[in-house]
Amino acid sequence: MDRSLRLRALTMVCALALALPAAAAESNKWRLQFSGNAKTDGDIELVLTPEGGEAAHVVVAIAKGTGENRVAKLVSEGIRKQFGDAMYKSEVDDGEDVLVKARRGTPDFQVVIERNTTGVRISPEKE
């Protein structure tokens, strides 16, 4: 194989490898696990992006000292306030977790923690 053909093949493999994590990051259900208390007044900003759609930002204000269960409830309510019943269902599970599910007809989506200035730990996981 000549050098230019090998370089093109390597470039193609690298491009595919970079594209795979983005595609694999989408799911129809996410669990957000919150732990700890808010160390400061601040915000939690989530970005929900449906496959092939536009990103939507959800910003939730959190007061200093707010516990993980209350933070989960505030985030769940923030998602419901942003979307209503149109695209996503949001509910608190086990007190400190938030489940976010795509409604029927809504494509798989990605959840990214864009900003967290509260000190509460957040672990997003696909389900």
> What is the dihedral sign for C-alpha 17, 32, 104, 50?
negative
- Report the number of distinct structural domains present in the chain: 1
- What would the two tokens of residue 73 be? 């409830």
- What would the two tokens of residue 91 be? 């509910």
* Cβ count near 89 (within 10 Å): 16
Residue 7 lies in a domain: no
CA–CA separation, 35 vs 9, rounded Å?
45
3 has a pLDDT exceeding 70: no
Structural domain range at position 99: 26-126
Give the lowest-confidence range in 22-26, 55-59, 84-88, 119-123.
Answer: 22-26
Single out the residue of 35, 40, 37 nearest to residue 118, CA to CA: 40
Single out the residue of 95, 89, 91, 93 nearest to residue 70, CA to CA: 95
Q: What are phi and psi for residue 85, nearest 5 degrees?
A: -100, 10
Residue 104 lies in a domain: yes
Counting residues of the chain whose pLDDT is more than 90, the rounded percentage is 77
- For residue 86, the model assigns a pLDDT of 85
CATH code of the domain containing 105:
2.60.40.4390
Average pLDDT score over residue span 78-86: 92
pLDDT digits (tens, 9 = 90+) for 36-72: 999 999 999 999 999 999 999 999 999 999 999 999 9
